[in-house]
Structure 1
Amino acid sequence: MKAAPFEHHEPSTIDEAVSLLESLERPTILAGGQSLVPMLRFRLARPETIVDINGIDELDYLEEDDDSLRLGALARHADVEEADVVADRYGSFADAAPLVADPQIRNRGTVVGSITQADPKGDWGSVLLAHDGEVVARGPDGERVIPADEFFLLPYDTTLEDGELVTEVRVPTPATREGSAYHKLKRKTGDYAMAGVATRLVFDDEGRIETAGIGLTAVDITNARAREAEDCLEGERPSPELFESAGELAADESNPESDEHGDALYKERMVDVLTQRALGDAAERAGVVRTVTP
């Protein structure tokens, strides 16, 4: 089956794209297209107009400055997978990138597109939440910075307003004693997660956990944070018992549904195990001796 007819626009600047989004009726944005194109092909999506942002060179970047790691709207999954700065300093990003679908999709699909689609089974939303990340959007009224905690509403629904274009996502640069990790359970290569957990730990000079972030994939109606688990970690020294408690709390906070891949209780157990493993990796990457391997 072929896509239904649509009007195609190719802006070359952010301002031109925002102007189109404001003037057109219900436009659809095309970046990587790895979700949109199959939907077009099978006519599950029938947009009248598509704004293709691939010609906006200023959106194609992955870079680190003094304050943050910044990914432009055209940064591909493969860019994250291949970036030295990611491999050296951002463990959760380095873990997640090669787990996204397959190489063909990673070469074209974009991190921002995945986050903006707000699929609860998407990996990047959980990573962004664990890192206290932000989404930067440009609209008719200028630029708006949206904390990741305020971005996801429902499956495929966010707090973006009409006429807004997400130009980048960003996370803070790592502290001196910081580590992060992402663990994911999937049935086979290329599948979405059955369950996934992103973790980030920042330690103080005495070896206590100063800041903890835990993002959950595929076990709620959106990517979600395990806040009770985060709270139980902060102010404590890492230990197998502490990480076990955090895993149990994260599982309790999850809300998975039974499906053909497993029942809800199984997925909750996987959240528990994946949380413990990801916390162990994050602690090790922060320079703390590995404390747990469930």
Structure 2
Amino acid sequence: MKPAPFTHHRPKTIEEALELLEALEDAELMAGNQSLGIVMANRLATPDHLVDLNGVSELTYIDNTDDGVRIGAMTTHRTLERSDLLAEALPMLPEAAEQIAGPSVRNQGTIGGSIGEADPAGNYPAALLALEGSVNLRSADGTRSVPVSEYFIAYMFTDLREEELIESVSVPTEPFPPARTGMAFLELKRAAQTFPTVSAATAVRVDDPTAADPVVEDARIALANAADVPLRVEDAESVLEGEPLTEDGLEELTEIVTGAVTPEGEMHADREYKEEVAGEYAKRSIEQAYDDAVAASNS
């Protein structure tokens, strides 16, 4: 099947893109076109106009800011995967990027496209939720910033308005000093280029990585494909904080996560199996993040 007829627009600036969105009826934004093209080919979406953002170079960047890192919406997965800045400051994001599909998708797909699609199995939504990031939205009337925890509303439904585009995402770095922080992004996949059955995005900051038993000062746990939106499990985080990481704490964490998730069953993974995987992968991911935090002072 082929897409229904549409008019293709390729703006060169954000302003041009926003003018098109405001002027055109039934217009759809296109980022890396790794998902929208498939949807349109199956006529699950039939926009009259396609506003292609691939020519808007000002949406492609990874920059340090006063309080964190800002990533332009059209920055590709491959760029995130290979970013030295992110590897140092927020290594969870390169880890999440390198596990997305195959090379062709990572070369073309973008962080903004992934967030705009809002698939609960996506890597970035869970990672950005764990890192308490924000999505920066822009329209002809101005800009606004929405916390990731409020941006994803339901399955493939977000706070993005019709006249807006995703300009960037912002992630604070102050909570995660590299010398005392570890991060991990783990996912279970049936095959390399499929969506994950479950993913776990975690971060751990310890008080003193040189101590015999470093205490967990801050823990973050978010899961993908474990609910209809990316899911942060703060109750599981709280059982770890203020103590060294122990087997008892990890067992309690696993039980809390298993009870908190509400996944949809799939052909190769029923709901009960995904609940167990969510608990297990949250545990493994936290163990890896903690070990990396302890080792950070020697890196």
Coarse TM-score class (shorter-chain normalised):
over 0.9
- Corresponding residue number in structure 2 for 1:22: 22
Could you report, residue by residue, the CA deviation over 1:244-284 in whole angstroms, capped at 9, with x for unpaired residues? Answer: 21122111110112221112111111111111111011112
- Corresponding residue number in structure 2 for 1:292: none
Aligned counterparts of 1:247 and 1:64: Cα–Cα separation in 2: 35
SS of equivalent to 1:236: coil
- Corresponding residue number in structure 2 for 1:79: 79
Residues 31 and 110 in structure 1, CA contact (< 8 A), matched pair in contact too: yes
SS of equivalent to 1:287: helix
- Corresponding residue number in structure 1 for 2:244: 237
Residues 206 and 294 in structure 2, CA contact (< 8 A), matched pair in contact too: no
Aligned counterparts of 1:281 and 1:120: Cα–Cα separation in 2: 23
Identity of aligned residues (%): 38
SS of equivalent to 1:184: strand
Aligned counterparts of 1:162 and 1:285: Cα–Cα separation in 2: 42
The answer to whether residue 230 in structure 2 is matched with residue 223 in structure 1 is yes
Alignment equivalent of 2:218, drawn from 190, 194, 211:
211
The answer to whether residue 185 in structure 2 is matched with residue 182 in structure 1 is yes
- Corresponding residue number in structure 1 for 2:284: 277
SS of equivalent to 1:166: strand
Residues 132 and 213 in structure 1, CA contact (< 8 A), matched pair in contact too: no
Residues 71 and 112 in structure 1, CA contact (< 8 A), matched pair in contact too: no
Residues 137 and 168 in structure 1, CA contact (< 8 A), matched pair in contact too: yes
Aligned counterparts of 2:204 and 2:65: Cα–Cα separation in 1: 21
Please give the residue correspondences for 1:122-271 in structure 2 after superposition, counting only pairs within 5 Å: 122-173=122-173, 174-175=176-177, 176-205=179-208, 207-271=214-278
Could you report, residue by residue, the CA deviation over 1:26-57 in whole angstroms, capped at 9, with x for unpaired residues? Answer: 32101101000112222222111111111111
The residue type paired with residue 203 of structure 2 is R
> Shift in Å at residue 100 of structure 1?
0.5
Aligned counterparts of 1:27 and 1:231: Cα–Cα separation in 2: 44
The residue type paired with residue 190 of structure 1 is Q
> Shift in Å at residue 96 of structure 1?
1.4
> Shift in Å at residue 208 of structure 1?
2.7
In the alignment, structure 2 segments of 5+ residues that lack a partner are none
Greater CA drift, 263-272 or 204-213:
204-213
- Corresponding residue number in structure 1 for 2:109: 109
> Shift in Å at residue 235 of structure 1?
2.2
RMSD: 1.7
Aligned counterparts of 2:111 and 2:245: Cα–Cα separation in 1: 31
In the alignment, structure 1 segments of 5+ residues that lack a partner are 290-294
Aligned counterparts of 2:28 and 2:242: Cα–Cα separation in 1: 45
- Corresponding residue number in structure 1 for 2:94: 94
> Shift in Å at residue 85 of structure 1?
2.3
Could you report, residue by residue, the CA deviation over 1:4-45 in whole angstroms, capped at 9, with x for unpaired residues? Answer: 111222221112212221222232101101000112222222
SS of equivalent to 2:33: coil
The residue type paired with residue 36 of structure 2 is L
> Shift in Å at residue 209 of structure 1?
2.3
The residue type paired with residue 127 of structure 1 is A
- Corresponding residue number in structure 1 for 2:49: 49
- TM-aligned CA distance change 1:236 to 1:23, over 3 Å: farther
> Shift in Å at residue 215 of structure 1?
1.0
TM-score (norm 2): 0.91
Greater CA drift, 160-169 or 279-288:
279-288
SS of equivalent to 2:135: strand
Residues 93 and 181 in structure 1, CA contact (< 8 A), matched pair in contact too: no
> Shift in Å at residue 288 of structure 1?
5.5
Aligned counterparts of 2:259 and 2:167: Cα–Cα separation in 1: 35
Aligned counterparts of 1:283 and 1:234: Cα–Cα separation in 2: 12
Residues 196 and 225 in structure 2, CA contact (< 8 A), matched pair in contact too: yes
> Shift in Å at residue 138 of structure 1?
0.6
Could you report, residue by residue, the CA deviation over 1:72-126 in whole angstroms, capped at 9, with x for unpaired residues? Answer: 1111111111112233332322321121111111110001210121101111100
Please give the residue correspondences for 1:2-17 in structure 2 after superposition, counting only pairs within 5 Å: 2-17=2-17
- Corresponding residue number in structure 2 for 1:70: 70
